[in-house]
Chains A and B, each alone.
Chain A
């Protein structure tokens, strides 16, 4: 009978699978934490840039909980979600009716600027990539 070229140790395979599962689980946890922190940092800059008059728009900020589904990790953040919208005390309008206009119109804002959410998000792209790399490295190290 010919000698087998390869011997597969089932126990070793199982250990390897367990290790991969652990790394993946750690990676998901690292990314969830990272995403939540990153959203918070973006919103700090955004809070600084959003036009301020009655502060209603600013007060309507929100950061949802991180959602993980099928290894897709996401977070929503911004202003005037259905749950977070505020009523402007001067106009009586809900902030959801005008925060987008504030964001898109390139007119002079006394205290703030347009693109107060898009610009901080865009400017954070390189930092975000670095954080993803760090999260992956941490998860890989934890699997050793």
Chain B
């Protein structure tokens, strides 16, 4: 069975943007530590298309900084965003590289500051549309 969020994490790791799944990047789960974290959460997109194997899905990216390095979340959020949204390459197909990601990625918005939490950690957020395989 595929895992779209894991495929995105693997892709970001391959691009050198994140360290890896459950290291600094988490799926459908927001850990209290480490402070510096990238959190991906899937939520409903438009669904499936009649006769097509793929599906329109959505996921959210939250990047959280530490209190000591508040600028990190903004910088990292934009790194993740730019890796997922390359104007010269709308269709991402990394399956030939041993990664499990095929998708047409389109941002819903650009990264922007969401909040500062009770531990003074700055959160940046953006959301992505992705047309990709079903899990």
Name the one of A104, A115, A119, A125 contacting B114, with C-beta atoms under 8 angstroms: A104
Which of B14-22, B38-46, B79-87, B92-100 participates in binding chain A? B38-46
Query: Is the C-beta of B115 less than 8 angstroms from some C-beta in chain A?
Result: yes
B44 with A104: CB separation less than 8 A: no
Contacting pair B125 A119 (CB below 8 A): no
> Chain A residues with Cβ under 8 A from B44's Cβ?
119, 122
**What's the minimum C-beta distance from A46 to chain B, rounded to whole angstroms?**
15
Flag whether B66 is at the interface (Cβ < 8 A).
no
Q: How far, in whole Å, are A98 and B60 apart by their CA atoms in the complex?
A: 18
Q: B residues touching A (Cβ–Cβ < 8 Å)?
A: 30, 41, 43-46, 60, 62, 114-115, 125
14 contacting pairs across A/B (C-beta < 8 A)? A98-B115, A100-B114, A101-B115, A104-B62, A104-B114, A104-B125, A105-B114, A106-B30, A106-B41, A106-B43, A114-B43, A119-B43, A122-B45, A125-B46
Q: Given contacts A104-B125, A114-B43, A122-B45, could you give 19 more A-B pairs where the C-beta distance is less than 8 Å?
A: A98-B115, A100-B114, A101-B114, A101-B115, A104-B60, A104-B62, A104-B114, A105-B115, A106-B30, A106-B41, A106-B43, A106-B60, A107-B30, A115-B43, A119-B43, A119-B44, A122-B44, A122-B46, A125-B46
CA distance A122 to B43 in the complex (A): 11
How far, in Å, is B108 (CB) from chain A's closest CB?
A: 8
Bound Cα distance A104, B114 (Å): 8
Which residue of B is nearest A97, CB measured?
B115
User: What chain B residues lie within 8 Å of A115 (beta carbons)?
Assistant: 43
For A105, the chain B residues whose CB sits under 8 A away are 114-115
